[in-house]
Amino acid sequence: MTQSLAPLRALLIDMDGVLWVGNQTLPGVAAFFAFLQEHRIRYVLVSNNATRRADSIVERLRGAGIPAATQNVLTSADATPRWMQQQLPDLKRAFVIGETALVQALSDAHIEIVRQDADAVVVGLDRHVNYEKLKRAALEIRRGAKFIATNTDRTLPTEEGLTPGAGSIVAALVAATDVAPLVIGKPARPMFQLALEITGTSPQETAMLGDRLDTDIDGAAQVGLKTILVLTGVSTRAEAEKNHHKPDFIFDDLTALQEAWTETY
């Protein structure tokens, strides 16, 4: 690798496939975060998961020996109302397809949850979605409500295998309305911009650390971030070599990344 890790002052870190796989925390995680703390490298954990908020993620991180705080975590459930407040402040009423975390995050942002006459239709993963919800959402979008997707992940990895993700619900509404949504989560730009606001760093001194080419690497590269792929999750080295946006760095795991980064000090 011709580039150096030395200039990096901050990381945006994906979780599934980077810190853990399912319920199993990956090796070297606690040591890696101790390294970040020792060298004062800022970080934000970014997740497309719209069924969890920052506080529940922090609880799991602390269980893995990582002393994170809620300000170090940005899920699409929290990012969506934050983006709406910043960029679309006139949207005050939302019809929601989503679970408790998303509904609570929108309510905490003083966005009223309604059944009709919504300013926006906000869609995340909803494991209790039904035809009535889809019908109501489609009618609201066709009436002129802004269509906002927390993320467009088509699948959700589970112990049973790949199951439908939020993107599957979004796709149904696109088919029913012929309207493309504003997307908040990776690989769309809003998630990265919100995370950079938290780190207070420029794209040139910040890297996205992830395991997926399509969301983590491609999205980050498009906004000018450095990119680090670890091979503990979805994407492989062979796939990375063929990808349009080749990662700036590829490591087998967090331990290998930490060892290479340590050599720059």
CA dist 263 → 156, 258, 259 (Å): 37, 9, 7
Task: Identify the pLDDT of residue 23.
Answer: 81
The pTM of the full predicted model, rounded to 2 decimals, is 0.93
How many whole angstroms separate alpha carbon 152 and alpha carbon 166? 6
SS3 content of the chain, % helix, strand, coil (to 5): 40, 20, 40
CATH superfamily, region 88-183: HAD superfamily/HAD-like (3.40.50.1000)
The residues that bridge with 155 in the sheet, in sequence order, are 164
Q: Which two tokens stand for residue 21?
A: 């796989």
Task: Identify the pLDDT of residue 159.
Answer: 66
145, burial (CB in 10 Å: exposed 0-12, middle 13-18, buried 19+): buried
**251 confidence band (pLDDT: 50, 70, 90):** very high
Structural domain boundaries of the chain? 10-48+186-262, 88-183
Which are the catalytic amino acids?
A: 14, 16
Report pLDDT digits (tens) over 110-157. Answer: 999 999 999 999 999 999 999 999 999 999 999 999 999 999 998 887
At the topology level, CATH places domain 10-48+186-262 in Rossmann fold (3.40.50)
Between 64 and 57, whose confidence is greater? 57
**163 confidence band (pLDDT: 50, 70, 90):** confident
**16 confidence band (pLDDT: 50, 70, 90):** confident
